[in-house]
Amino acid sequence: MSIASWSFSRLKNFETCPKQFYHVSVLKEHPVVETDAMLYGTAMHKAAEDYIGSDVPIPPQFDYVKDALDELKEIRGVKLCEQKLGLTEDLKPCGFFDKNVWFRGIVDLVIVDVLAERAWIVDYKTGKSTRYADKGQLELMALSVFKKFPEIKYIDASLLFVVAEELIEESYHVDNSFAMWAKWLRRYGKMRDAYTNDVWNPRPSGLCRHHCPVVECSHNGRN
- Tell me what pLDDT residue 68 has: 95
Q: Is residue 222 part of a domain?
A: no
Domain contains 3: no
**CATH number, domain at 33?**
3.90.320.10
pLDDT tier at 222 (50, 70, 90 boundaries)?
low
Look at residue 2 and tell me if it is in a domain: no
DSSP β-ladder status, 154-161 and 166-173? antiparallel
pLDDT tens string 15-47: 999 999 999 999 999 888 888 999 999 999 999
Please report, rounded to a whole number, the percentage of residues in the chain having pLDDT higher than 70. 98
Residue 221 CB-density burial (10 A; 0-12 exposed, 13-18 middle, 19+ buried) = exposed
pLDDT band at 223 (very low <50, low <70, confident <90, very high): low
* pTM of the predicted structure, to 2 decimals: 0.93
For 56-82, what is each residue's pLDDT tens digit? 999 999 999 999 999 999 999 999 999
User: How many structural domains compose the chain?
Assistant: 1
Residue 17 placed within a domain: yes
CB–CB of 117/153 below 8 Å? Answer: yes
Percent of the chain with pLDDT over 90: 83
Q: What is the pLDDT of residue 217?
A: 85
- Give the span between the Cα atoms of 91 and 99, in whole angstroms: 14
27-28-33 Cα angle (round to 5): 160
Residue 1 lies in a domain: no
